[in-house]
Amino acid sequence: MYVVLSVVVVFLISACANGVTGSDSQIGLAEPYRLALDELISTDTALNDGMEFISLDFDEELPSEDSDKQSIEEYLQSRYNVKIYHLTYEQLVAQGLYDAGDTKRKGILLSIEKQEQSDQNNMTIEVSKYRSNEGGLTAKVTLAYQQDQWKVVNSTPTKES
């Protein structure tokens, strides 16, 4: 009796663990968001020249968890070795990090503006990079979940200034 009960308990625990890890890999948006932002940063690298910080501005209506945002922040900080903020343009100006009269900004503002998921394995993320008078860029980045990982399959600039 105890053996059967033990086997059932082990089976249930295993099934629950698989369900949790399986759902995390499908729900977590840190990886596709991180890939889309990295793709944008690598586009028009002149905008990155001498950058001392990156500010991340997530649309409040986007699906994302605090752990996703933290993962993105840690990745960008380690990859680009700059300070990471979570400030909008207005907040950057208010904190003195952007001067309206300055033509050479010390950082870039990255925004995730829109996310569309056509199915579990494909999504398009609209992202933008802004450095004020020096320019900005908006792109639609299409990603696909292939071989247990997200990959950028297309990146189309939609606006450049």
Instruction: State the DSSP string of 2-15.
Output: HHHHHHHHHHHHHH
pLDDT tens profile 13-56 = 444 433 333 333 344 788 999 999 999 999 888 788 888 899 99
Which residue in the block uniquely carries the two structure tokens 């900080």? Answer: 77
- 3-state DSSP assignment of residue 34: helix
CA distance 35 to 96: 29
Mean of per-residue pLDDT scores for the chain: 78
- The better pLDDT of the pair 53, 4 is held by 53
pTM score above 0.85: no
CA distance 15 to 13: 5
Contact 108, 84 (CB under 8 A): no
* Mean pLDDT value across residues 122-141: 87
* Residue type at position 31: E
